């Protein structure tokens, strides 16, 4: 099935440049969180283990996606084959990042309805052991499940460059002669439109559309529900006067910060992946509506910018933009105010007890 009005070579080149420029802050942000957390590893608590994994997933996704953009700038015979493996690999690490965000939200639910009840001294060791085993199992699933899905994806037959120029299909050959740069370009979501360059990839395209749509929607809904419950719990605590009087001013500031942090965590997902979801929906609608890809170039520009900035935004929302992270990794002093155990997971001090 041919596609009318595909992106031009200049538009594709501009998108590649945009990816290269905007992925750089994500690389710097994720790498900085990873480095400082590893350097301060012994002085940090369990929460940083999750932050390190999130930074690593975002770093690998951005690095691989940047590599695919470089392929568009450098002509190579292996470009098509490399792209077929690298683009889904970058999405795999983004999927891992999504799952880690869900785990982070799930851990943040602990203050609600007494979920954070402290174990007795006798139960402490066994409880800690169970938590450690559960954490290891959870993180193993978070990393292994998307990787298994990626392997299942790439081990199925791919279209090759020889298939693109096969003389048996005159329409494909014509597309290659007229739009060779389009057919060999390595841009995220460029070939999910069932265009003539990728007719043989219909199954792969469908898997990409369905998987991304379901995962993003699931993460968005689950995180929204959890953070809404956390905010609701904090509001209840405030109205019932359950925060300590000596920390009343600090408690009010913390409540506002909890609302802001939870909102920002949801906004990162919305900002980064809503344009991609819109592109996916439009690619499905084209089966019934004649939509020209070129008319959506502005949407491709927005999508490229939003996805590229995910690593940077995550590094700010989950790490550098939060006082407890900077206090822990930079060795700043904590406020001399009475400590309250009833806190959201992302509001805990990240210092270990040995600090």
- Average pLDDT, stretch 207-211? 79
Give the pLDDT of residue 32: 94
Is 70 exceeded by the pLDDT of residue 96? yes
Report residue 324 as tokens.
């407890």
Q: Angle formed by the axes of helices 121-154 and 79-107, to 10°? A: 160
pLDDT, tens only, 12-66: 999 999 999 999 999 999 999 999 888 887 766 666 788 899 999 999 999 999 9
Rounded Cα distance between 325 and 346, Å, is 9
Distance in Å from the first CA to the final CA of the chain:
63
**6-15, 107-116, 153-162, 181-190: least confident range:** 107-116
**Residue 242: CB partners within 8 Å, gap ≥ 6?**
342
Give the pLDDT of residue 166: 43
Question: How would DSSP label each residue in 305-341?
Answer: HHHHTHHHHHHIIIIITSHHHHHHHHTPPPP-S---S
pLDDT, tens only, 171-203: 444 444 345 667 778 888 887 765 556 554 666
**82-86, 87-91, 286-290: least confident range:** 286-290
Rounded Cα distance between 306 and 297, Å, is 14
Q: Please, are residues 111 and 344 in contact by the beta-carbon 8 Å criterion?
A: yes
Q: Please, are residues 244 and 251 in contact by the beta-carbon 8 Å criterion?
A: yes
**β-strand partners of 338:** none
**15-19, 98-102, 229-233, 315-319: least confident range:** 229-233
Give the pLDDT of residue 236: 72
Give the pLDDT of residue 34: 92
Residue 44 phi, psi (nearest 5)? -115, 155
- The per-residue pLDDT of the chain, averaged, comes to 76
**β-strand partners of 351:** 44
Residue 351 phi, psi (nearest 5)? -75, 140
**Residue 81: CB partners within 8 Å, gap ≥ 6?**
158, 160, 161
pLDDT, tens only, 291-314: 778 888 999 999 999 999 999 999
pLDDT, tens only, 243-270: 554 455 565 666 666 677 778 888 899 9
Q: Please, are residues 26 and 309 in contact by the beta-carbon 8 Å criterion?
A: yes
How many CB atoms sit inside 10 A of residue 200's CB? 16
- Give, in order, the Cα–Cα distances in Å from 217 to each of 186, 192, 208, 269: 26, 19, 14, 10
Model pTM score:
0.81
């Amino acid at each position: 099935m041919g596609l009318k009005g595909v992106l031009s070579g200049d538009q594709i080149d501009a998108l590649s440049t945009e990816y290269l420029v905007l992925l750089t802050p994500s690389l710097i942000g994720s790498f900085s969180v990873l480095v400082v957390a590893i350097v301060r590893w012994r002085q940090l608590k369990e929460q940083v283990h999750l932050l390190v994994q999130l930074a690593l997933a975002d770093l690998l996704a951005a690095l691989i996606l940047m590599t695919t953009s470089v392929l568009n700038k450098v002509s190579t015979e292996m470009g098509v084959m490399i792209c077929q493996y690298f683009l889904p690999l970058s999405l795999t690490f983004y999927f891992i990042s999504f799952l880690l965000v869900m785990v982070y939200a799930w851990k943040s639910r602990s203050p609600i309805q007494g979920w954070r009840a402290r174990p007795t001294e006798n139960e402490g060791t066994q409880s800690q052991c169970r938590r450690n085993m559960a954490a290891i199992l959870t993180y193993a699933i978070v990393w292994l499940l998307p990787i298994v899905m990626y392997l299942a994806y790439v081990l199925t037959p791919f279209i090759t460059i020889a298939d693109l120029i096969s003389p048996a299909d005159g329409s494909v050959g014509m597309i290659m002669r007229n739009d060779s740069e389009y057919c060999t370009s390595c841009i995220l979501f460029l070939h999910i439109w069932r265009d003539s360059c990728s007719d043989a990839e219909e199954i792969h395209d469908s898997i990409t559309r369905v998987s991304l749509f379901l995962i993003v929607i699931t993460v968005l809904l689950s995180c929204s529900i959890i953070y809404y419950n956390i905010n609701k719990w904090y509001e209840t605590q405030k109205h019932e006067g359950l925060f300590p009087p000596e920390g009343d001013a600090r408690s009010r500031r913390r409540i506002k910060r909890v609302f802001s942090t939870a909102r920002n965590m949801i906004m990162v997902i919305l900002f980064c992946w809503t344009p991609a979801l819109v592109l996916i929906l439009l690619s499905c609608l084209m089966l019934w509506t004649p939509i020209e890809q070129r008319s959506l170039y502005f949407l491709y520009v927005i999508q490229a910018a939003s996805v590229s900035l995910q690593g940077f935004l995550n590094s700010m929302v989950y790490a550098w933009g939060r006082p407890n992270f900077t206090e822990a990794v930079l060795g700043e002093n904590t406020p001399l105010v009475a400590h309250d155990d009833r806190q959201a997971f992302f509001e805990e001090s990240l210092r270990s007890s040995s600090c």
